[in-house]
């Protein structure tokens, strides 16, 4: 993990670090939403991010997974508490980002009921 954090100049949030240390990765349909959720293993992160040139197009981003197709689940490290957003592989800049969750644990908690969010209405008040 230290190598990946050093490469991107970030420190991943504790809930995501815990997931990587325990589950490691995920790739499955999540009921009842029945949307596909993929979380990459730590060893895949550098390759995934470099293949898409994400740091060039989205400074402060680190892709950690996606929907198994074109949409990339991405941390937005431009913010102190980085939220998770969805970015299409062809997006050119941050204006295309669609907010998914304020944290990794919030994403895992809400995903079975909501699946992917496809508009940019932002976080809902709690």
Measured from the Cβ of residue 93, the count of other Cβ atoms closer than 10 Å reads 10
For 80, other C-beta atoms within 10 Å of its C-beta total 5
Q: What is the pTM of this model?
A: 0.92
In a domain, 122, yes or no: no
Q: Is residue 123 part of a domain?
A: no
CATH code of the domain covering residue 15: 3.40.1580.10
Longest CA span, the chain: 37
Residues in the chain: 126
**Residue 99 pLDDT exceeds 50:** yes
Distances, alpha carbon 105 to alpha carbons 3, 5, 6, 94, in Å:
23, 19, 23, 23
Give the domain range for residue 103: 2-110
| pLDDT score of 124 more than 70 | no
CA 116-122-126 angle, to 5 degrees, is 95
In a domain, 22, yes or no: yes
Q: How many domains does the chain have?
A: 1
């Amino acid at each position: 993990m230290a190598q990946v954090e050093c490469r991107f100049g970030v420190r991943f949030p504790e809930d995501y670090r815990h997931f990587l240390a325990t589950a490691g990765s995920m790739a499955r349909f999540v009921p009842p939403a029945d949307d596909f959720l993929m979380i990459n293993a730590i060893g895949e992160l550098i390759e995934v991010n470099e293949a898409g040139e994400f740091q060039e197009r989205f400074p402060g981003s680190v892709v950690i997974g996606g929907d198994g197709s074109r949409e990339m689940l991405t941390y937005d490290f431009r913010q102190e508490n980085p939220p998770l957003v969805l970015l299409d592989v062809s997006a050119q800049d941050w204006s295309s980002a669609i907010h998914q969750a304020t944290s990794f644990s919030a994403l895992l908690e809400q995903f079975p009921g909501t699946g992917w969010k496809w508009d940019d209405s932002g976080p809902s008040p709690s």
